[in-house]
């Protein structure tokens, strides 16, 4: 779906799904993948915030077991640097990944280095030390309007909170049931920010694949390509 339209795959992972099994590899890969923290939201969920005093007191008095993942719920990370293959190989299967196929944003200016500048010795020297195309891609990504729209559409009711002001995005985290229970407007908003929604869904014990466009012809072709490539799957 992205080959002809110039769309990008934006990957997100839930913080509570990383802990504890994937926590160390996530930290070790942070400089390579540039994760940006934000919030995910199931429909009408409250804003993740500082634990309530009664919760921390119950833990302090050993009346309740301390479980870090409970305090991470609703926190997620967006991989700003696009390295789809290694990111999927490491984290897909943790139970908390979401991939959005995001269309190019006509409002964001194209960030390129003129050919003449690329020939300059200073640029060539810098390019040996730094991934300049990757840095430009990241700079372009943060300007894409899908981030602002996701916050506006799916952060409704959080606007009065200080935490909301610092958010770059709000990731909708829907189960299959939510797609049928949300309003037509909410569904339209989801597919305004992305063409394709793919998410690991522990609630459904599987993977959600959602699109406004028919996928009937595309999925059999993908399956055939996988078989031709010798991939083993069920």
**CA nearest neighbour of 137 among 87, 82, 100:** 82
Reported as a pLDDT band with limits 50, 70 and 90, residue 108 is low
Mean pLDDT of 76-85: 94
pLDDT of residue 62: 73
Sequence ranges of the domains in the chain: 8-108+144-228
Q: Which long-range contacts (CB under 8 A, 24 or more apart) does 41-47 make?
A: 41/74, 41/154, 41/155, 41/170, 41/171, 41/172, 41/173, 42/173, 42/174, 42/175, 42/178, 43/174, 43/178, 43/181, 43/182, 43/186, 44/157, 45/74, 47/74, 47/158, 47/161, 47/163, 47/164
Q: Look at 70 and 205; give whichever has higher pLDDT.
A: 205
pLDDT of residue 186: 95
pLDDT of residue 144: 87
pLDDT of residue 150: 96
**CA nearest neighbour of 8 among 193, 177, 161, 158:** 193
Q: Which of 49-58, 83-92, 124-133 has the highest mean pLDDT?
A: 83-92
Mean pLDDT of 99-104: 90
Reported as a single tens digit per residue, the pLDDT across 192-234 is 999 999 999 999 999 999 998 888 888 898 889 989 999 887 6
Unique residue bearing structure tokens 């810098």: 126
């Amino acid at each position: 779906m992205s080959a002809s339209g110039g769309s990008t795959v934006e990957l997100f992972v839930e913080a509570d799904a990383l802990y504890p099994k994937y926590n160390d590899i996530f930290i070790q890969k942070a400089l390579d993948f540039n994760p940006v923290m934000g919030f995910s939201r199931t429909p009408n969920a409250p804003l993740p915030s500082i634990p309530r005093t009664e919760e921390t007191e119950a833990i302090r008095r050993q009346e309740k077991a301390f479980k870090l993942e409970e305090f991470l719920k609703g926190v997620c990370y967006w991989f700003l640097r696009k390295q789809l293959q290694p990111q999927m190989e490491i984290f897909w299967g943790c139970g908390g990944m979401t991939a959005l196929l995001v269309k190019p944003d006509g409002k964001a200016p194209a960030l390129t280095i003129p050919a003449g500048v690329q020939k300059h010795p200073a640029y060539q020297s810098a390019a040996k030390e730094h991934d300049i195309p990757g840095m430009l891609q990241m700079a372009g990504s943060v300007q894409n309007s899908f981030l602002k729209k996701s916050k506006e559409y799916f952060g409704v009711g959080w606007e009065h909170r200080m935490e909301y002001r610092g958010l770059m995005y709000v990731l909708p985290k829907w189960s299959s049931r939510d797609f049928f229970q949300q309003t037509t407007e909410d569904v339209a908003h989801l597919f305004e920010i992305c063409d394709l929604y793919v998410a690991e869904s522990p609630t459904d014990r599987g993977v959600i694949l959602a699109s406004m466009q028919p996928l009937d012809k595309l999925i059999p072709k993908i399956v055939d390509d996988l078989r031709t490539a010798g991939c083993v799957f069920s």
